Amino acid sequence: MIFFCAINIAVQTLVSLDNFERMLNQPSENELLGMMHLLGSDDNEHLVMVGDSTVWGVSADFDESFAGLLSTRLGEDSAEVVNLAVPGMSFLDEYAVIENLWNPHDTYIVFINPIWFHDRYNDKTPEDYIRFPQLVSRYLSESAGALEECCNFSLLAGKPPLQRAITDVVMRYVPLFRNRDLVNKQMLGMQPSIAENTILHRIAAMNFAGAIQREELAPDEGDTEEKETALALDIEKSRSFGLLKHVLSLSEKRDNVHYVILDDNWYERTALHKESMNKLEQLFEGRHVLNVHNAFEQKHYFGNGYTHLNSAGHILMTDLLYDFLYAN
């Protein structure tokens, strides 16, 4: 008994919100679940950001990303900024994260990236589209038929009810299991998905310094990055638009859940594009929404066609978020 208590204390000391900045760029599903459990058991007030690689902050250190800059501006006496964004996180993933985490004391910002409405996402399989299938299945399994009908999208099968119940019990009462990937991250400084590769190949090559280096995304290696201008956006033809519309119809209109429609630096600015963006904004009628589309210029990105922000872009986004959340 004493042994297990000591293990629990050691795990909770190693893995806490005090040393958390953001998710690794390739986290496993149980790493995300473990971090959300930490959030749910923490009594402090949080400002939680949910989004994809733009929100994660590709090619920016956390302190230079808009999540880190906003945290610095707010100071220690305000809500703690927690960046749960993950490269490749879809609207379905975002919905599941908010449903899992929501409580009335925290503030949530869900970022909507217009590049998800491009034709390239119409043909993605559910395995490629959904970043965290078990979590999504838990909150959308009852909508499987509706998703198939509206969007020709077959939801991935989740764990059987008994297996899910057992997993939920273990996740709640066994910190070492719940935080196994977070422990790995803290000890080795790398995401679990590349741990085996690192151990077998990097150490074998006697590259001991490289064995503990994090894998960082370059600005042209993001899940949604493309170096050429996309065609004009026709949002009605987008499967992602239908999926977003469906999850918004399921989610309650909560005062502490805010939405940000991002700029994209990608689509041609045509009349059809403008009409599409108007339709997108109309989806959020009655909700707290900040539309920053067309608020950014070429100088705020890494280059023409790049969708990720540079340092100037992160500073501008910080200003816009701060005004949106606190100026009024």
Residue holding tokens 């996402």? 121
d(CA 269, CA 272): 8
Q: Are 156 and 126 in contact (CB under 8 A)?
A: yes
Edge-to-edge strand order for the sheet containing 46-50?
80-83, 46-50, 107-112, 257-261, 288-291
Is the pLDDT at 259 greater than 80? The verdict is yes
Give the domain CATH number at 261: 3.40.50.1110
Q: What are phi and psi of 112, to 5 degrees?
A: -110, 110
How does residue 207 score in pLDDT terms, banded at 50, 70 and 90?
A: very low
Q: What is the arithmetic mean of pLDDT over 253-269?
A: 91
For residue range 156-186, what is the model confidence (pLDDT) as tens digits? 655 556 665 666 665 555 555 555 555 555 5
**pTM recorded for the entire structure:** 0.78
Average per-residue pLDDT for the chain: 79
* 42 three-class SS: coil
Number of domains in the chain: 1
Give me the pLDDT at residue 120, please. Answer: 87
d(CA 42, CA 19): 14
- Please, which residues bridge with residue 48 across strands? 82, 108
Which among 151, 140, 109 has a CA at the least distance from the CA of 287?
Answer: 109
The amino acid that residue 6 corresponds to is: A
Residues in contact with 24: Cβ distance below 8 Å, sequence separation at least 6, in sequence order: 31, 185, 190, 191, 214, 215
Is the pLDDT at 291 greater than 90? The verdict is yes
Which among 180, 143, 215 has a CA at the least distance from the CA of 32?
Answer: 180
Lowest-pLDDT range of 52-61, 125-134, 184-193, 304-313: 184-193
How does residue 35 score in pLDDT terms, banded at 50, 70 and 90?
A: confident
Buried b (16+ CB within 10 A) or exposed e, 151-171: bebebbebeeeeeeeebeeeb
Q: Which residues span the domain enclosing 107?
A: 2-327
Is the pLDDT at 25 greater than 90? The verdict is no
The one-character DSSP state at 201 is: I
Give me the pLDDT at residue 125, please. Answer: 87
The one-character DSSP state at 296 is: -
How many residues belong to the chain? 328
The one-character DSSP state at 232 is: P
Q: What is the arithmetic mean of pLDDT over 74-100?
A: 93
